[in-house]
Amino acid sequence: MNNNKDTLKKKKKKRKVHGSLNINLSKSEFMNNNEARSNKLFGKICLFAGFLVLFCLILNEVGVFRIAPVIMRISCIASAILFFIPFVISYVFKRTGEWVKYFMITDILIIVIMLYSVLSYHVMMMWLFPLVASIIYFDKKLVHFAIFTTIPAIVLGHFLSCKFLLLGDDPLRTVQAAMLYGALPRVILFLAIAFVACQVTRKASKMLSNVIENSNEIGRMTSGIQLVMSQTQQLLGTRDMHVLASRLATNFSDLLVLMLKPETPPVGTVGVIDGDHYYTVDSDGNPNNICRDLGDEIGFEFNNARFKLSKHVENATSYSEEREGFVNIRFYDNGRLTGFAVFRQDVESDDYSMKEVLNIYTYSTTSIINNTMLTFDMFRTQEQLAYSLAVVSENSSQETGQHIRRVSEYAKVMGKYICTSEEQLETFSIAAMLHDIGKLMIPKEIIEKPGRLTAEEFGIMKKHVIYGRDIIGNAPGEVMEMARRIILHHHERWDGTGYLGVSGEDIDKFARYVSVCDVFDALLSRRSYKAAWPAQKVYEEITSQSGRQFDPSAVEAFKKCYVEMLKIRDQFPDDENDEENLVSANAQIVTGETNKATEEDHKRKSLPKINVDPAIVTPISI
């Protein structure tokens, strides 16, 4: 575990901040999106207005209206064509851009001027059309454009209406009358309505800004909470306080980056309790130092500032605060300081979202720290129990004393190809020590018998997997749970001809790897009933059994770890004075992929298979 811990400490982490929700929509972005939708809406309105004008033309043709037919036809058809242009631009050509909306307002003004010039007071209400249409954009500049272009358009329309005088019943027959009794009152009325439109637009714009701001804050807070929850899930199961401190440092730094988006990555330090000491790491997760013990307080330095923290504060609960350019968090458990975080980062005093996310982070991390301390204690209890049982098992046989330790080390090497975390790898290594614990229940004269076992004796030997499972019983914890499965299945064969007849994927995956480790060590070792095999022959035997005795993936892992496993075999020999057991120093390591076996090796009689008739051959794996 120490080696794994050092690896974690030295490893440079490539960090990526995860946040599943990213709203952060600016008002300009919203306006751009709204503009495209408004263009289409404007196009629909104009399309409807165009058909409405044509419908009025039909009514005039059938005599419902009594307007001069020629005048009505020209004005209605021309207006309909102009009304269809905005629809074509927004729907057919799908044009967007600032110019589109201004072009549409101008197009409508031309239509209104033309219609009023011909039809006079019959279309008086159409002067409001450009103003009303501009409001759907929530754009004050466009509303102002509509107002200041409509006013001269009203004057021009009345002037042309008076000059053309195409309607015989038009009462405004002089320019003076048209301006004084037509244009002036309508401009005044229009300005009153325009004032209301401006107020509505201003209010709507302000409300829109508030909605966008609130939505962004909700999205920001949600992203922060989601990141905290994701980090919490990732930290569950951590059982090493040093590893936890490293992960907390990087996680908190990522949280600050997500929430505040600082120009430079925040720097800080995170500390956790580890036994009687407080251990700190920097914001990149690298080991820092052990805090100074000041009696009832601890002391540490960060960013040219000195900090003192009380170890115990009566009735204290975890909290976070932002003060003098620092974000400070204290983690407490029943008044005892269990951890802390100090980061150099400015936080606005009114940043409600950040404060809420910090509170959630503080309380969730407090639970994680407390859970890790409990998990650490439980795991160490399991570890000590496993060691104790392994020692008893070692002492029960002079021949297999180091076998258990070596299998544990082999598992740690091969486990890199099956374990998903450092914690699981450590669990696997410890659980592997217990694979043969059931042999405590097997008579010593059978285990150390110098000759071949009888069928009856081998039947007793096979029961050690059941005895081992029963010894572990219902002991709680990850180590014991994994050990139960390994003990029961480590003598199963991939083809189903093992002790219990379990085959293929039904064999526990960790037991499949321990099976390779177990046989590898047994073949290399001298026993009372056999001599040690040469390393090359052990390699060939195990690789030849891929898909028969062993899981092919376990054999592939073995090939990659072969040289390292030989070194482990030399590191823990059964007898330090027996050079026969030192295999790797003088072994010719040939994998079969780089060299061919010599002719002399081919001439040698083939070695016995590992599992044969139990009545004839003693089982190899001890």
HEC-encoded secondary structure of 67-125:
CCHHHHHHHHHHHHHHHHHHHHHHHHCCCCCHHHHHHHHHHHHHHHHHHHHHHHHHHHH
Q: What is the DSSP letter of 546?
A: B
Can you give the pLDDT at residue 353? 86
Task: Give the pLDDT band (50/70/90) at residue 612.
Answer: very low
User: What is the CATH architecture assignment of 396-603?
Assistant: Orthogonal Bundle (1.10)
For residue range 140-169, list pLDDT tens digits in order: 899 999 999 999 999 999 898 888 877 767
For residue range 87-133, list pLDDT tens digits in order: 999 888 888 888 999 999 999 999 999 999 888 888 888 999 999 98
Contact status, residue 540 vs residue 562, Cβ threshold 8 Å: no
What fold is seen in the domain 236-375?
Answer: Beta-Lactamase (3.30.450)
Where exactly are the structural domains of the chain? 27-215, 236-375, 396-603
Can you give the pLDDT at residue 15? 44
Beta bridge pairs of residue 282: 269
* Dihedral-angle region of residue 221 (phi above 0 means left; psi in -120 to 50 means alpha; beta otherwise): alpha
β-pairing verdict for 277-282 and 319-323: unpaired
Please name the residues in contact with 58: beta carbons below 8 A apart, sequence gap of 6 or more.
Answer: none
Mean pLDDT for the chain?
Answer: 81
Among 77-86, 207-216, 240-249, top mean pLDDT goes to 77-86
Can you give the pLDDT at residue 51? 94
Residue 58 CB neighbours (<10 A): 11
CA 480 vs CA 247, 383, 462: distances in Å: 27, 9, 21
Give me the percent of the chain exceeding a pLDDT of 70.
84
Using only the alpha carbons of the chain, give its radius of gyration.
Answer: 42
Can you give the pLDDT at residue 586? 45
pLDDT of residue 600 exceeding 70: no
Can you give the pLDDT at residue 401? 59
Q: How far apart are CA 561 and CA 412, in angstroms?
A: 10
- Which sign does the torsion angle of CA 324, 328, 334, 338 carry? negative
Contact status, residue 69 vs residue 60, Cβ threshold 8 Å: yes
Residue written as token pair 């251990």? 279
pLDDT of residue 190 exceeding 80: yes
For residue range 506-545, list pLDDT tens digits in order: 999 999 999 999 999 989 887 766 788 999 999 999 999 9
Closest CA relative to residue 341, chosen from 296, 298, 281: 281
Token pair of 345 as six digits: 């980062």
* Same CATH fold assignment for domains 236-375 and 396-603: no
For residue range 52-61, list pLDDT tens digits in order: 999 999 998 9
pLDDT of residue 20 exceeding 60: no
CA 583 vs CA 59, 120, 397, 598: distances in Å: 108, 111, 22, 19
Kindly give the residue spans of alpha helices, DSSP state H, lying in 236-276.
Answer: 241-260
β-pairing verdict for 319-323 and 305-310: unpaired
Beta bridge pairs of residue 339: 272, 331
Q: How far apart are CA 464 and CA 181, in angstroms?
A: 114
Closest CA relative to residue 242, chosen from 276, 285, 284: 285
Token pair of 128 as six digits: 């409001």
